[in-house]
Structure 1
Amino acid sequence: MTETNETLSMPADAQVKRDLPQSIVIPPIQGEMVHLRPATVEDLPRLDELDAFYGASKITGKDAATERSMIHTWVRRSQAWEAGLTPGESGVGDPELRRTIAWAVVTDADHDEDGTTDAASTDNVIGMIFLIDIDGWSRSARIQIVLGRDYRGRGYSRDAMPRVMTYGFASEPAGLGMHRIWVAVPEKNTRSISVYQSLGFVPSGTSRDALWDAENSKYQDLIVMDTLVDEYDPIRSLDAFGMHLIENNPGVQEALAAREHSVALRQNTANGGDDPAHKSDRPGSGTAPNTEPSAHDQTVHVQSQSNEESQVTHEKSRLSAEEESNWPYGQSERKTSKEAWWRTLGRGRKRDTESEK
């Protein structure tokens, strides 16, 4: 009886199961320039062929050997989750039970127009993209992409990342149901910072002297950037790079439904949620049924009606402007402590010679 009472007295959030599923089916994701499929250990040698770890210290702040070892572990963790293995059984255990999803980035592009696929030698694989540190309790995950040396700076990241984030934020079972997705970028990697800002990430903190800059023999800061589910707009993130929404991708229908629901709620609010024609028949309306109002009452009523119409007109104009943005959440639901992606677009545009991650 005591245990039952204790359970009933627990906060509602504590009673909700927040564990990640024992196994997962990693969905394929279609882009305009690339498509993503679940990565396998057989794909790992292809990253070496692609020279994917070149310049790792500039891109992630880690040396090439460490970066290579981490990515090998992430792919094995991803396959273990697909197979329904516990972290202990996978051989790469995690006491916090955080999971990883790995996709191979595949393209059919022929940029040099020689009649053959650019990445034919690596079975069309040009890199990998990951959701790592997937934390079911806090609904948080980190995203990272690695591309072959010759495939950086071509826009592949801009095509793949918004689509993975849409899946990550979508509610279960269509997506992972994450609340937050974040990245960590060395301060000198200004190109990646610019790309992430364009995707809607905002700087949320700095780890001072967290990384060693081997090229300049000094420490550098690590910039942490994140975005939340009620801030992220998959449509605008793709629009920023001239990409289009692909409605069959996982999580897209949920994002569109959330937008339609939000717009409908705001339109209902703008209309007062009721038929104003029947307000005068209700108790407490100020005018009894079938009673002729005085001249003073008519003047007050006209002024009130004029104010209401003005407010409704203003609200409808605002809704129209918001609807054009395709934002899936209302203005009032956004976190005021964060900045929307269009406010950060254009910052950090300083380019260097190092290609994007």
Structure 2
Amino acid sequence: MAGTNEVLSVATDTQLRRDLPDSIVIPPIRGEMVHLRPATVDDLPRLDELDAFYGASKITGKDAATERAVVHTWVRRSQAWEHGQAPTESGVGDPESRRTIAWAVLTDADHDDDGKVDASSTANVIGMIFLIDIDGWSRSARIQIILGRDYRGRGYSRDAMPRVMTYGFAPEPAGLGMHRIWVSVPEKNTRSISVYQSLGFVPSGTSRDALWDAENSKYQDLIVMDTLVDEYDPIRSLDAFGMHLIEDNPGVKEALSAREHSIAIQQKRSTGSGTGNVAEAGVSTGAADILGEAPQETGHGTRSADDVSRAAQHQDFAEGRVKEPHTVAERVADEESNWPYGQGERKTSKEAWWRTLGRGRKRDTESE
């Protein structure tokens, strides 16, 4: 009996720790304008050549020297995780055992039509993108991108960030299985705030006078924005910038399955209680049962059909219980008429599709 209790205790402890793996294989990620590969310390001098830390105080609120030191630490932490080094062994570890993944951002573009790749002098590297403070316990991570001075404002971040976030949210082993991804941005960096909003981030808090604005010799607020796994749609975040899905990228298969589940949910809502359209959409029997449930009583009152369907979608995506995706042609054929957040609803970035996602979900608002 004692042996059984010990086994149960070990299993419970393992579950409660929610540990990240001891090592990780950082996947390459392809975009339309850029492609990503694991960053190395050899890439760090290239950031100096790119003048990537120019204007750091406006972009992140840190001075250039501090930003440079932090980025160097992130890359070393990323390589340490790849090599299976514990945070205490790497020399650059986090006392909370949080991890970092760093990708180098590369482009093959020739914008000036001179017959040479724009970033040929830096081996095609134009910047880096990071998932930082990856917290296995809370399933949370922060995302940040840094680009060379001459490569800003060209849409590279809009190509790279949704694809990294798709990997971050995708259930293990396809992705990291994160529940929340967040950013922090100085209040005066309105350009980045607009990009993050279009990606699905919403303001979640403000750190008052947290940063020094050297340009205007005054303090400024730090805005925290985040998005959750059941609020974020990687397909529409790409579409918001005219980008297209690349199906063999990590986590995309799972995202497509969740998307098709949403299509089936919308068909169910629009056609009543019949099951014909659900079957036509190819939803599994378990998902159809969930969709057919009546409103449920909870501690916060009655759950609406929207709440139940969102919960079903979140459960399927977060735990990987999703069906195989249809072909691209089948998905495109369904998109205009069936997708609940279609083109007609996304008139401007201020009325983007993501503003309707997750808003019906019950939250604890008693403390607000």
TM-score normalised over the length of structure 2: 0.73
Native 8 Å contact 1:230 1:335 kept in 2: no
Tell me the equivalent position of 2:361.
335
Tell me the equivalent position of 2:94.
94
Report the 3-state secondary structure (helix = DSSP H, G, I; strand = E; otherwise coil) of the residue aligned with 1:133: strand
In 2, Cα distance between equivalents of 1:87 and 1:253: 32
Tell me the equivalent position of 2:42.
42
In 2, Cα distance between equivalents of 1:332 and 1:222: 24
Native 8 Å contact 1:231 1:334 kept in 2: no
In 1, Cα distance between equivalents of 2:357 and 2:35: 33
Deviation at 1:96, TM superposition (A): 1.1
Native 8 Å contact 2:262 2:340 kept in 1: no
Alignment of 1:79 onto 2:79: yes
Native 8 Å contact 1:128 1:146 kept in 2: yes
Tell me the equivalent position of 1:220.
220
Tell me the equivalent position of 2:289.
none
Q: Please, which runs of 5 or more residues in structure 2 have no aligned partner?
A: 277-336, 344-352
Native 8 Å contact 1:230 1:333 kept in 2: no
Report the 3-state secondary structure (helix = DSSP H, G, I; strand = E; otherwise coil) of the residue aligned with 1:212: strand
The 1:185/1:337 distance shift into structure 2, 3 A limit, reads farther
Native 8 Å contact 2:35 2:105 kept in 1: yes
1:269-288 per-residue CA deviation (whole Å, 9 max, x = no partner) reads: 844459xxxxxxxxxxxxxx
Deviation at 1:15, TM superposition (A): 3.9
Could you tell me which amino acid in structure 1 is paired with residue 21 of structure 2?
Answer: P
Could you tell me which amino acid in structure 2 is paired with residue 335 of structure 1?
Answer: R
Q: Where do residues 3-152 of structure 1 align in structure 2 (5 Å cutoff)?
A: 15=15, 18-152=18-152
Could you tell me which amino acid in structure 2 is paired with residue 251 of structure 1?
Answer: G
1:171-211 per-residue CA deviation (whole Å, 9 max, x = no partner) reads: 00000000000000000000000000010000000000000
In 1, Cα distance between equivalents of 2:204 and 2:339: 29
Could you tell me which amino acid in structure 1 is paired with residue 249 of structure 2?
Answer: N
In 2, Cα distance between equivalents of 1:160 and 1:223: 22
Report the 3-state secondary structure (helix = DSSP H, G, I; strand = E; otherwise coil) of the residue aligned with 2:133: strand
Native 8 Å contact 1:28 1:37 kept in 2: yes
1:289-324 per-residue CA deviation (whole Å, 9 max, x = no partner) reads: xxxxxxxxxxxxxxxxxxxxxxxxxxxxxx935175
Tell me the equivalent position of 2:346.
none
The 1:267/1:92 distance shift into structure 2, 3 A limit, reads same
Native 8 Å contact 2:263 2:338 kept in 1: no
Q: Where do residues 275-354 of structure 1 align in structure 2 (5 Å cutoff)?
A: 320=338, 322=340, 324=342, 335=361
Higher RCO (CA < 8 A, seq sep 6+) = 1
Tell me the equivalent position of 1:245.
245
Structure index of larger Rg: 1
Deviation at 1:263, TM superposition (A): 3.8
Tell me the equivalent position of 1:298.
none
Q: Please, which runs of 5 or more residues in structure 1 have no aligned partner?
A: 275-318, 339-357
Tell me the equivalent position of 1:351.
none
Tell me the equivalent position of 2:168.
168
Deviation at 1:81, TM superposition (A): 0.3
The 1:8/1:123 distance shift into structure 2, 3 A limit, reads closer
Tell me the equivalent position of 1:305.
none
In 1, Cα distance between equivalents of 2:358 and 2:49: 49
Native 8 Å contact 1:170 1:255 kept in 2: yes
Tell me the equivalent position of 1:192.
192
The 1:165/1:134 distance shift into structure 2, 3 A limit, reads same
The 1:85/1:15 distance shift into structure 2, 3 A limit, reads closer
Native 8 Å contact 2:262 2:339 kept in 1: no
Give the number of equivalent residue pairs.
294
Deviation at 1:257, TM superposition (A): 1.2
Could you tell me which amino acid in structure 1 is paired with residue 361 of structure 2?
Answer: K
Native 8 Å contact 2:238 2:245 kept in 1: yes
In 1, Cα distance between equivalents of 2:22 and 2:245: 30
Deviation at 1:136, TM superposition (A): 0.3
1:244-264 per-residue CA deviation (whole Å, 9 max, x = no partner) reads: 010010000001112223444
Native 8 Å contact 2:53 2:64 kept in 1: yes
The 1:44/1:16 distance shift into structure 2, 3 A limit, reads same
In 2, Cα distance between equivalents of 1:219 and 1:333: 33
Report the 3-state secondary structure (helix = DSSP H, G, I; strand = E; otherwise coil) of the residue aligned with 1:32: coil
Report the 3-state secondary structure (helix = DSSP H, G, I; strand = E; otherwise coil) of the residue aligned with 1:248: coil
Could you tell me which amino acid in structure 2 is paired with residue 173 of structure 1?
Answer: P
In 2, Cα distance between equivalents of 1:263 and 1:30: 26
In 1, Cα distance between equivalents of 2:250 and 2:360: 23
In 2, Cα distance between equivalents of 1:159 and 1:125: 15
In 2, Cα distance between equivalents of 1:157 and 1:189: 15
Report the 3-state secondary structure (helix = DSSP H, G, I; strand = E; otherwise coil) of the residue aligned with 1:322: coil
The 1:263/1:6 distance shift into structure 2, 3 A limit, reads farther
In 2, Cα distance between equivalents of 1:112 and 1:121: 15
Deviation at 1:164, TM superposition (A): 0.3
In 1, Cα distance between equivalents of 2:261 and 2:338: 15
In 2, Cα distance between equivalents of 1:241 and 1:13: 44
TM-score normalised over the length of structure 1: 0.75
Deviation at 1:225, TM superposition (A): 0.3
Native 8 Å contact 1:61 1:186 kept in 2: yes
